Amino acid sequence: MMERVRLRDLGITIGALPTGEHNAITDVPGVLVGHATVIADEPRVARTGVTVIVPREGIWSDNVFGGYCSFNGNGEMTGVHWLEESGMIDSAIGISNTHAIGVVRDTIVAHAVAHGQIGGFLLPIAAETYDGWLSDIDAFHITPAHVFAALAAARGGPVAEGNIGGGTGMICYGFKGGIGTSSRVVSTKSGVFTVGALVQANYGARADLRVDGVPVGLEIGLDKVPAREEVPAPPPPGDAGSIIVVLATDAPLLPVPCKRLARRAIVGLARAGGVGYNGSGDIFLAFATGNHLPPGAGAPLDVKMLPHGQIDDLFVAAADAVEEAIINALCAAETMTGFRGRTVHALPLDELRRVMARYRPDTERF
Amino acid sequence: MMERVRLRDLGITIGALPTGEHNAITDVPGVLVGHATVIADEPRVARTGVTVIVPREGIWSDNVFGGYCSFNGNGEMTGVHWLEESGMIDSAIGISNTHAIGVVRDTIVAHAVAHGQIGGFLLPIAAETYDGWLSDIDAFHITPAHVFAALAAARGGPVAEGNIGGGTGMICYGFKGGIGTSSRVVSTKSGVFTVGALVQANYGARADLRVDGVPVGLEIGLDKVPAREEVPAPPPPGDAGSIIVVLATDAPLLPVPCKRLARRAIVGLARAGGVGYNGSGDIFLAFATGNHLPPGAGAPLDVKMLPHGQIDDLFVAAADAVEEAIINALCAAETMTGFRGRTVHALPLDELRRVMARYRPDTERF
Amino acid sequence: MMERVRLRDLGITIGALPTGEHNAITDVPGVLVGHATVIADEPRVARTGVTVIVPREGIWSDNVFGGYCSFNGNGEMTGVHWLEESGMIDSAIGISNTHAIGVVRDTIVAHAVAHGQIGGFLLPIAAETYDGWLSDIDAFHITPAHVFAALAAARGGPVAEGNIGGGTGMICYGFKGGIGTSSRVVSTKSGVFTVGALVQANYGARADLRVDGVPVGLEIGLDKVPAREEVPAPPPPGDAGSIIVVLATDAPLLPVPCKRLARRAIVGLARAGGVGYNGSGDIFLAFATGNHLPPGAGAPLDVKMLPHGQIDDLFVAAADAVEEAIINALCAAETMTGFRGRTVHALPLDELRRVMARYRPDTERF
Amino acid sequence: MMERVRLRDLGITIGALPTGEHNAITDVPGVLVGHATVIADEPRVARTGVTVIVPREGIWSDNVFGGYCSFNGNGEMTGVHWLEESGMIDSAIGISNTHAIGVVRDTIVAHAVAHGQIGGFLLPIAAETYDGWLSDIDAFHITPAHVFAALAAARGGPVAEGNIGGGTGMICYGFKGGIGTSSRVVSTKSGVFTVGALVQANYGARADLRVDGVPVGLEIGLDKVPAREEVPAPPPPGDAGSIIVVLATDAPLLPVPCKRLARRAIVGLARAGGVGYNGSGDIFLAFATGNHLPPGAGAPLDVKMLPHGQIDDLFVAAADAVEEAIINALCAAETMTGFRGRTVHALPLDELRRVMARYRPDTERF
């Protein structure tokens, strides 16, 4: 099998907009990403972790606008009541496994307390997808130390993808899933802005997978690469799975436009084959760093607002970046064996390239 | 029976904040109110009308931020999808009877077309309460001419209350209801702002009415003043009825804070005895003129944002102004006889004063 | 150019589920559709109309559960407050042009009044898309007579598509758009159910159009078929446009699952290339006839509830039916010349077939 | 000072409906409440705890319908995405301090795991108010053991109020607050139902407090009983504080009516003087045990639905029970000294009785 590369390394692009430097959420200036990965076989099998996104350094004293969208709420994202009410985010965002969302959330508070930054109150955003197939999730592996480690590791630049951080044990379209990222650069009358996406992809039935419209999941069906292998018995079929999306932009979006941007994650998800099955927690967050919002201001804040009429390219960018981030997660993730000897296979990239070539005529588009 | 006066003329105040000059929504600079009243006995009985609120002169080219809240949605307010999506209001707001909401809405568009102001698209806000007890609502009395008349009549200064405009045929707590208004002035670190409320009050059971906490509805019960009289048979008891609230402020509120302000109308409603019965359409709108928003801007708009930490007094002002506006509607509305010979009695102000005196000890508060 | 046929007549299918008998929303037993088309050149140019969907005969006395979703709210759908609050629909649903939504809404009330069916109160659902390019929309062409005519024409069986009813003057992806419909049949543990979709499609940029994942809009670009022709000047580019979707099913869905079903229209829209541009009113309605809900019941109603775990295939069906209904609208609509001599071209079906063949390898899938 | 009693023991009633046997949320058959209280001075000061509400025994295998309302979202309630999507609750509900919401949430999962009840996935509801004035909240006192203890203690019958469980360190209107409860019994055409409320009350400025409409907070002002005492310095003024409300009923409410019921908590809150200040997390939950909902059903579930037209008395019951539960919390809570030597005084019940007598004339109402 060929080595893991990103989707664009295979000559496949999503949409017409250019990417940022790293084709990552960190292309939005100031955004930091950190991972802590927990892999162990003893005493109980762990294939899990934590990923954090810091909207910008100094987030405690320089908040950002944000908004969210729940496409199918069979999942958890904490902190949304205040996000909806205030339109602001004032701390790091954490993503982990389902049973760890509480410890991740509380530890983001503890981290702020430890840094003397908290004035009594913080309502962090923590989200999850379920990794109980490959990881013994009922062992409650994640501890505050892992969350502190992910926060300490947060930085800009290239972002590791696949089996890392919160994405470690995830499964997507019956292939190994995990963390993926992508970005787009858009030019508007109000300036040039970047939109970045980071996903923790853990959803979908094999037959649904599409890459740039091509029915890859039908072509690399379960007869070619089984969705999940275990010893001795096959898993019951199920619609379980989820996807968390975090979108970032440096455009001056007010809170409601952030929510609108988050909603466009549905477009990227749908184009990649997602339907939002009943068992899926498809919850999407967007934040915008284009304004500076010190808490406790005594006078009206001066904020910039991108006119609504200029937002379309950001919508396209969000949809494209989410679609590519999902496929990047599949491209980066490697075959993993975990809990109870179960194996989940990586998306075979040579097969992917072969299928794409069959479905794309020889034009300048491909 | 004593002549109709406003609540404060009876020596009764709601809350501690001062009112604006006219104790009316028009105390918010630039806000205009216009009424068209339709009263006729032939060929079919009409006790209805239209009230319009113009957020500011030139609203087509200088939009305002806004938001809404549906406390109990057994009613109609058009235009809310775009309000929710854009956070903006770009035209006059109309209030009328239930069957007329379409013609009011379409005519606000036609009025803009007639003034050459429309660039192809307008999604106006029109709201309603049901006046079918006193007016033959199935006659569809309201025509475009009435809406044009109300728009032409829109002006600042004192606002007529009671049996006027959209409030003409309304019933509230089994007394004659209608249009009411009130305002408050608040001082914040960011400056002095006005909050104004206008209500079309048409809801509630007699026993529920409270004035500044005093159970006036129990004291002036149905044995003293019947809720509704008709010849020959009494009406079936029912929970039908609704209240539309429009809140205005000149504070620089972004869209979500407008929605928060609108939600505080529930507080004023609840203190006046409202419960939000199943049959009630209790839908509340708020807009803020503190920013100037020309449509079609080519560059980022500079907007001011009141810090969240300074909004509490505006919340108090909204609750107090709504509570007083409701009672003002009751104080202004006069006994009316209409459809099928039915009569609805005015709130007897001498009784109101007597009850308040019994329940309020002799302190500086009263 | 070849004659207009439906997408399946070209050998192109969307998804794997079978369709109902007519591949139309009327495959859901009891659902009726009626059109009134208004085409005139004098005194002012009309290319408009009204389409009504009746959830079932006798809807006034046997309500259905329903829910809605606003993906991008630059449009209007009345009646949603009570829909959200009650989860029920008790009258016909109307779709027309933007300026006519009021008259459509009021006339649905008047129609009920004329049939003696109304107990004082009705809050109908009326929705719109903008046809001002081909029709002189500011002439306010639609009258109550048109709405009565559409209601009188409502029936089951095959549904006319394209330039008809509310879809008469619509434009989609720079081709002639309009009304389209499709259906799917799904088998669940709880029985076999039908999901039907009807769309009024009036949105999208040419380059975005995809058919079953194939970038048809790029291949049949504006160089081949101009989006819009007028004499003498070309139109300004714009993102205006909208899509209304109505989904119906006979599955026993409670109100919230109806809302979930409506949300899956986004998936179908996205797969067809929709992004939900700022100027688009993308508002989606779903209703379920699987329960019988007489108004004014005195005892608890017995209702059936499809277990959440069985809803996935209905989600797939909704997404597939919406995607196909959109393309059916394009396939059915014919080239039209209207207001100011403007022409909008039909999707060339021979080109469509040619492009699909290029992009689809010779497998059993196609 | 007189001993602590419940509001009704003072001869003060709220509304006209009768209470259930214990005037508590546990009057709804099957509802269980458990507290774990954490009070310590060493090594760090703890005045905190956990309260759990179990919708019914065997909740894992017999779910209930539910819904929620965020009146002012400066707080946290987990589990709401799935609650909104499914309309169901399938586990215990926890309430604690702000920093403990994660551990409470995760431990409700761990408790289910420990009992072998979980099929891989649980998204519990945990909510909070902030007790950092009387408790050293940054010490993160709450551990899984406390949550297990509260769950083990859950039972029906009388419910302890005031300084107990999650309410231990709470402050309300500048008096000592905490846990309060109340219930109402309503008769409908569909049968007799109970509505119960439990609050964790931790909000409000002294001047705002009203009891049955009487301005108690103005009469027992800060000059009479200081809101908060500390050595040596007074606290900064602030609007911090929150209230969590849990409503239960045995009426057969579907999910959306549960949400409507939750919304009526605003009415009770407003009548007691609440405004929903910016710093307040006012999030309200309601569930209905009137249907039995086994997870994983293979056939359509038979459910009962209370007709909308019969819900009004439940709305009144919810408002009244919430209002009384708040005052019950104040009546039960005792003066407490905690973190940094700060003291918060109990509501003086003799003063309360004195004020009520002054404001209520000698009628049969009082």
pLDDT over 80 at C146, yes or no = yes
Q: Are C267 and A271 in contact (CB under 8 A)?
A: no
Q: Which of C102, C138, C279 sits opposite B102 (nearest CB)?
A: C102
Q: Which of A278, A311, A312 sits opposite C311 (nearest CB)?
A: A278
User: Rounded to an integer, what distance in angstroms lies between the CA atom of residue B274 and that of residue B225?
Assistant: 20
Q: Is D221 helix (H, G, I), strand (E, B) or coil?
A: coil
**Contacts C306 to D, Cβ<8 Å:** 300
Q: Are C129 and C75 in contact (CB under 8 A)?
A: yes
Superfamily of domain D7-294+304-356: L-amino peptidase D-ALA esterase/amidase (3.60.70.12)
Chains contacting B with at least 3 CB pairs below 8 Å? A, C, D
Distance, in angstroms, between C305 CA and closest chain D CA? 5
DSSP state of B21: T
**Record: contact D267-B264, CB cut-off 8 A:** no
Q: Are A235 and A274 in contact (CB under 8 A)?
A: no
User: Rounded to an integer, what distance in angstroms lies between the CA atom of residue C180 and that of residue C161?
Assistant: 5
**Contacts B356 to D, Cβ<8 Å:** none
Phi, psi of A140 (to 5 degrees): 50, 65
Four-CA torsion C156, C159, C163, C166, nearest 10 degrees:
40
Confidence of residue D239 (pLDDT cuts 50, 70, 90): low
Cis peptide, bond prior to residue D237, ω within 30 of zero: no
Q: What percent of chain A has pLDDT over 90?
A: 89
By CB atoms closer than 10 A (0-12, 13-18, 19+), residue A350 is exposed
User: Is C355 in CB contact (< 8 Å) with chain A?
Assistant: no
A143-161: pLDDT as tens digits: 999 999 999 999 999 999 9
pLDDT at D365: 44
Looking at this protein, which amino acid is placed at residue C288?
A
Give residue for tokens 């009036």: C202
A259-301: pLDDT as tens digits: 999 999 999 999 999 999 999 999 999 999 999 999 988 899 9
User: Rounded to an integer, what distance in angstroms lies between the CA atom of residue A10 and that of residue C189?
Assistant: 42
Q: Is B239 a catalytic residue?
A: no
CB crowding D45-54: b at 16 or more within 10 Å, else e: bbbbbbbbbb
**Record: contact D85-A70, CB cut-off 8 A:** yes
Q: Which of D74, D103, D110 sits opposite A85 (nearest CB)?
A: D74
**Record: contact D86-A78, CB cut-off 8 A:** no
User: Is C79 in CB contact (< 8 Å) with chain B?
Assistant: yes
pLDDT at A235: 45
Segments in B252-292 forming alpha helices (H)? 255-263, 265-271
Write the CA distances from A177 to A168, A331, B5, integer angstroms: 8, 8, 71
**Lowest mean pLDDT segment, chosen from A351-365, C11-25, D270-284, D336-350:** A351-365
State the best of A184, A254, A278, A282 to mutate against chain C, taking most chain C CBs within 10 Å: A278
H, E, C per residue of A186-212? EEECCEEEEEEEEEEEECCCHHHCCEC
C298-350: pLDDT as tens digits: 899 999 999 999 999 999 999 999 999 999 999 999 999 999 999 999 999 99
Strand duo C63-73 + D191-202: pairing: unpaired
**Contacts C254 to D, Cβ<8 Å:** 87, 254-255, 303
User: Rounded to an integer, what distance in angstroms lies between the CA atom of residue C281 and that of residue C77?
Assistant: 9
Q: Are D194 and D250 in contact (CB under 8 A)?
A: yes
pLDDT over 60 at C236, yes or no = no
Write the CA distances from A309 to B84, B319, C274, integer angstroms: 16, 35, 17
Q: Which of A263, A309, A359 sits opposite C359 (nearest CB)?
A: A359
Chain mean pLDDT for chain C: 94
CB crowding A2-12: b at 16 or more within 10 Å, else e: eebebbbebeb
Nearest Cα residue in chain B from D355: B361
The active-site residue, picked from B90, B212, B250, B282, is: B282
DSSP state of D206: G
Segments in chain C forming alpha helices (H)? 80-86, 101-114, 144-153, 216-219, 255-263, 265-271, 312-332, 349-359
Four-CA torsion C67, C71, C72, C74, nearest 10 degrees:
-20
User: Rounded to an integer, what distance in angstroms lies between the CA atom of residue B268 and that of residue B197?
Assistant: 11
Q: What is the mean pLDDT of residues D253-269?
A: 98
**Record: contact C120-B140, CB cut-off 8 A:** no
Q: Are C48 and C96 in contact (CB under 8 A)?
A: yes
Q: What is the mean pLDDT of residues B147-175?
A: 98
Nearest Cα residue in chain D from A117: D138
**Record: contact B361-D360, CB cut-off 8 A:** no
**Record: contact D77-A73, CB cut-off 8 A:** no
Q: The tokens of D34 are what?
A: 């458990």
B305 Cβ partners below 8 Å, 6+ apart? A300, A301, A302, A303, B252, B253, B254
Q: The tokens of D271 are what?
A: 């009548």
**Record: contact D113-A138, CB cut-off 8 A:** yes
Looking at this protein, which amino acid is placed at residue A266?
I
Q: Which of A88, A296, A305 sits opposite B303 (nearest CB)?
A: A305
User: Is B139 in CB contact (< 8 Å) with chain C?
Assistant: no
Q: Map out the domains of chain B as residue ranges.
A: 7-294+304-356
Q: The tokens of D325 are what?
A: 């539960």
**Record: contact D297-C303, CB cut-off 8 A:** no
Stronger pLDDT, A229 or A248, i.e. the higher one: A248
Q: What percent of chain C has pLDDT over 90?
A: 89
State the best of A76, A81, A243 to mutate against chain D, taking most chain D CBs within 10 Å: A81
Question: Within 10 Å of residue D129's Cβ, how many Cβ atoms?
Answer: 32
Give residue for tokens 């939009």: B63
pLDDT over 90 at C168, yes or no = yes
pLDDT over 80 at A125, yes or no = yes
Q: What is the mean pLDDT of residues D344-364?
A: 88
Q: Which of A88, A190, A256 sits opposite B299 (nearest CB)?
A: A190
Q: What is the mean pLDDT of residues A107-118?
A: 90
Q: Are C314 and C193 in contact (CB under 8 A)?
A: yes
State the best of B121, B147, B202, B340 to mutate against chain C, taking most chain C CBs within 10 Å: B121
Q: Are D332 and D175 in contact (CB under 8 A)?
A: no
Residue in C315, C294, C287, C362 with CA at minimum distance from that of residue C11: C362
pLDDT at D233: 47
Nearest Cα residue in chain D from B270: D267
Q: What percent of chain D has pLDDT over 70?
A: 95
User: Rounded to an integer, what distance in angstroms lies between the CA atom of residue B309 and that of residue A313?
Assistant: 34
B263 Cβ partners below 8 Å, 6+ apart? B69, B284, D71, D72, D276
Nearest Cα residue in chain D from C308: D86
A15-27: pLDDT as tens digits: 999 999 999 999 9
Confidence of residue D238 (pLDDT cuts 50, 70, 90): very low
CB-side neighbour CA atoms (13 Å) of D301: 23
pLDDT at C276: 97
Q: Are D184 and D321 in contact (CB under 8 A)?
A: yes
Residue in C30, C150, C132 with CA at minimum distance from that of residue C338: C132
**Record: contact A299-B260, CB cut-off 8 A:** no
Q: Is D282 a catalytic residue?
A: yes
- Can you say how many angstroms the Cα of residue C163 is from the centroid of all Cα atoms in its chain? 13
Write the CA distances from C44 to C47, C135, C136, C168, C234, integer angstroms: 10, 9, 7, 16, 21
Stronger pLDDT, D241 or B232, i.e. the higher one: D241
Q: Are C237 and C352 in contact (CB under 8 A)?
A: no
Q: What is the mean pLDDT of residues D26-49?
A: 98
Q: Which of A73, A102, A123 sits opposite D103 (nearest CB)?
A: A102
pLDDT over 60 at D177, yes or no = yes
Nearest Cα residue in chain A from B306: A300
**Portion 289-328 of C in contact with D at CB < 8 A:** 296-309
B126-160: pLDDT as tens digits: 999 999 999 999 999 999 999 999 999 999 999 99
User: Rounded to an integer, what distance in angstroms lies between the CA atom of residue B246 and that of residue B252?
Assistant: 17
User: Rounded to an integer, what distance in angstroms lies between the CA atom of residue B222 and that of residue B224?
Assistant: 5
Write the CA distances from A45 to A39, A42, A213, A241, integer angstroms: 8, 6, 37, 20
CB-side neighbour CA atoms (13 Å) of B49: 27
Distance, in angstroms, between B214 CA and closest chain D CA? 6
Distance, in angstroms, between D83 CA and closest chain C CA? 11
B81 Cβ partners below 8 Å, 6+ apart? B123, C70, C73, C74, C75, C76, C77, C80, C281, C283
pLDDT over 90 at A28, yes or no = yes
**Record: contact D103-A103, CB cut-off 8 A:** yes
**Portion 235-264 of C in contact with D at CB < 8 A:** 252, 254-256, 260
Q: What H or E segment, with its residue span, contains residue D67? A: strand D63-73
pLDDT over 60 at D366, yes or no = no
Strand duo A336-337 + A343-344: pairing: antiparallel
**Contacts C189 to D, Cβ<8 Å:** 298-299
If you count DSSP H runs as helices and E runs as strands, how many of each does chain D have, helices first?
8, 15
Chain mean pLDDT for chain D: 94
Confidence of residue B362 (pLDDT cuts 50, 70, 90): low
**Contacts A101 to D, Cβ<8 Å:** 78, 102, 105-106
Nearest Cα residue in chain C from B139: C110
CB-side neighbour CA atoms (13 Å) of D363: 11
pLDDT at D237: 39
Q: The tokens of B76 are what?
A: 């109609």
Residue in D273, D250, D258, D249 with CA at minimum distance from that of residue D326: D273
**Portion 108-127 of C in contact with B at CB < 8 A:** 109-110, 113, 118, 120-121, 123, 126
- Can you say how many angstroms the Cα of residue C249 is from the centroid of all Cα atoms in its chain? 14
**Contacts C69 to A, Cβ<8 Å:** none
Question: Within 10 Å of residue A152's Cβ, how many Cβ atoms?
Answer: 12
The interface predicted TM-score of the complex, written ipTM, equals: 0.96
Confidence of residue D235 (pLDDT cuts 50, 70, 90): very low
**Contacts C123 to B, Cβ<8 Å:** 74-76, 98
- Which residues of C belong to the active site? 242, 280, 282
pLDDT at A228: 78
**Portion 201-220 of D in contact with B at CB < 8 A:** 207, 210, 212-215, 218
B116 Cβ partners below 8 Å, 6+ apart? none
- Can you say how many angstroms the Cα of residue B194 is from the centroid of all Cα atoms in its chain? 17
CB crowding D209-248: b at 16 or more within 10 Å, else e: bbbbbbbbbbbbbeeebebbebeeeeeeeebbbbbbbbbb
Chain mean pLDDT for chain A: 94
User: Is C76 in CB contact (< 8 Å) with chain B?
Assistant: yes
User: Is B359 in CB contact (< 8 Å) with chain D?
Assistant: yes
pLDDT at C118: 60
pLDDT at C119: 58
Write the CA distances from B155 to B151, B251, C71, D198, D290, integer angstroms: 9, 21, 37, 49, 53
Stronger pLDDT, C139 or B223, i.e. the higher one: C139
Cis peptide, bond prior to residue A232, ω within 30 of zero: yes
